[in-house]
Amino acid sequence: MIEEYRWLIGRTGEENSLVCLTEQVPGNVLEREDGWRGFYLSFYNV
């Protein structure tokens, strides 16, 4: 069985962010925001 993990680690001058599926959020997080949506962009030369 193949398990999929989709996540993004981001950093700005104000915060560090980990974006992942709601069911993959660790139980010990201090703050979280549910309900985000994402999309995939593919760029290639034609």
User: Tens digits of per-residue pLDDT, 1-45?
Assistant: 556 777 888 899 998 888 888 888 888 989 888 888 777 777 877
Predicted TM-score (pTM) of this structure: 0.53
How far apart are alpha carbons 27 and 46 in whole angstroms?
45
DSSP label at 28? T
| Residue 19 CB partners (closer than 8 Å, separation 6+) | 7, 8, 9, 10, 36, 38
- What would the two tokens of residue 5 be? 């993990």
In this prediction, residue 21 carries a pLDDT of 84
How far apart are alpha carbons 34 and 11 in whole angstroms?
19
